[in-house]
Amino acid sequence: MSSTSFLTRPSPTITRVETILVDVPLKQRTITDSQSSVASVEFVQVKVETDAGVIGWGFNWNYTKGLKAVQVMIDEAYAPAIVGRPALDRHALMQAMNATTHFIGRVGVARVGLCAVNLALWDIQLKLEQQPLWRHLGPCKDRVRAYNTDGGWLSWSIDELVADMQRIIDRGFDSVKMKLGRPDPREDFERVRAVRRAIGDRVNLMVDVNTVWDLKTAVTWGRRLEEFDISWLEEPMHPFDVAAHAELARELDVPIAVGETIYTLHDFRDYIDRRAVDIVQADVTKLSGIEEWLDVAALARAHGLTVIPHTNVQQNVHVQLAAATPNAPLVECCYESIHDIWEDPVRVEGGWYTLPEAPGVGGKLTDTVLAEYRIG
């Protein structure tokens, strides 16, 4: 039975929403940036069932603990708002879910729960259409260039940093990123110098502070790092301090990148209006889903800015979005040790992602992972 939809064609009706929480260990030693030490990654897997038999899968993630809160948000607020309604009326469903958490969740937990359901709703439509997301959107490229972050952890010694960067470059990557934010910025400086020396001038090098500097530190050390031809300085300061980023952008020549802790189109608008960002690192799993990511990308394009999406551990969705976004030339590659936890893992070879062919969004963990690592 299909239910009445805003569409002129019938839509399957949502019959059930189920969530599964898993905690997946990394298949490598613990990795560290200036904010987190990561030994495992939590995922909430959302399964949306319909009366047409089509099932949509969505997800969200966190690389520390606490995703149980997102699971509760979906189970108790979002699922009741959409069960019994047409699965293809996605904007209406998003509004209905948004309304349930109007007073307690404009960012953070509520927001990432919305995205998990949004991906599942898209998955249903794409499976009905029998095509992957990038083909639905209309591609402007047939593969997507990747940069690699897996070799640049703060917990690596300088020797380990240099060795890992070299291994990555030997695999065909021409762009690498490393973490900064040690208590003494002079150590950061030495580490960047060692890496730049080792990789030469022809490899793009980015640095990522994960928000721990204040403005004075960012101006001082951002300027000093410019001698190493840094492609961008990522998340130098608190992400809600747009004014500080605008001032830093005026002070430095190196492009400023932000986005992985920005949750709304409106917050990106403020960054862009104030010329506080050069590289827009919109992450679909922090925004409310695919529509909002596309809105941010369009806003950036209208201002002549580049979108380079942050990793969300999986990257299938971002690769597909980038393939259909003219101002998204590059996608982050990270957490490769657990790329095989997905049913349709996106492949990176020679520094390029290939586009997936399976219909849907590509956000389903394997049954083995869902069973073996289930915690809720």
Question: Least CB distance from residue 355 to Mg ion, whole Å?
Answer: 24
| Residue 123 is a binding residue for Mg ion (CB under 5 A) | no
Q: What is the largest CA-CA distance in the chain?
A: 66
Contacts of residue 202, Cβ cutoff 8 Å, sequence gap at least 6: 174
CA–CA distances in Å: residue 106 to residues 18, 62, 123, 159, 376: 23, 18, 24, 43, 25
Nearer to Mg ion, 46 or 252 (CB): 252
Stretch that binds Mg ion, among 17-25, 163-171, 205-213, 363-371 (CB under 5 A): 205-213
Distance CA 18, CA 374 (A): 13
Question: Least CB distance from residue 173 to Mg ion, whole Å?
Answer: 17
Residue whose C-beta lies closest to Mg ion: 208
Nearer to Mg ion, 135 or 318 (CB): 318
Question: Least CB distance from residue 317 to Mg ion, whole Å?
Answer: 17
In which residue are the tokens 């640049």 written?
152
346 and 315 in contact (C-beta within 8 Å)?
A: yes
Question: Least CB distance from residue 360 to Mg ion, whole Å?
Answer: 27
Question: Least CB distance from residue 256 to Mg ion, whole Å?
Answer: 12
Nearer to Mg ion, 120 or 330 (CB): 330
Nearer to Mg ion, 94 or 225 (CB): 225
Ramachandran assignment for 14, one of left (phi > 0), alpha (psi -120 to 50 degrees), beta (any other): beta
Distance CA 74, CA 109 (A): 10
In which residue are the tokens 């992602």 written?
353
Nearer to Mg ion, 181 or 362 (CB): 181
198 and 166 in contact (C-beta within 8 Å)?
A: yes
Nearer to Mg ion, 208 or 292 (CB): 208
Stretch that binds Mg ion, among 113-121, 153-161, 204-212, 315-323 (CB under 5 A): 204-212
Nearer to Mg ion, 100 or 210 (CB): 210
Nearer to Mg ion, 116 or 154 (CB): 154
Stretch that binds Mg ion, among 106-114, 183-191, 201-209, 311-319 (CB under 5 A): 201-209
Q: Tell me, what DSSP letter sits at residue 75? A: I
For residue 364, the number of C-alpha atoms closer than 13 Å in the C-beta half-sphere is: 20
Question: Least CB distance from residue 341 to Mg ion, whole Å?
Answer: 21
121 and 56 in contact (C-beta within 8 Å)?
A: yes
Stretch that binds Mg ion, among 54-62, 110-118, 200-208, 340-348 (CB under 5 A): 200-208
| Residue 208 is a binding residue for Mg ion (CB under 5 A) | yes
| Residue 150 is a binding residue for Mg ion (CB under 5 A) | no
Q: Tokens for 260?
A: 């992985």
How many secondary structure helices (H) and strands (E) does the chain include?
13, 17
Angle between helices 316-323 and 290-302 (to 10 degrees): 40
Question: Least CB distance from residue 175 to Mg ion, whole Å?
Answer: 14
Binding-site size for Mg ion (CB under 5 A) equals 1
End-to-end CA distance of the chain: 32
Question: Least CB distance from residue 321 to Mg ion, whole Å?
Answer: 18
Which residue ranges make up the site for Mg ion (CB under 5 A)?
Answer: 208
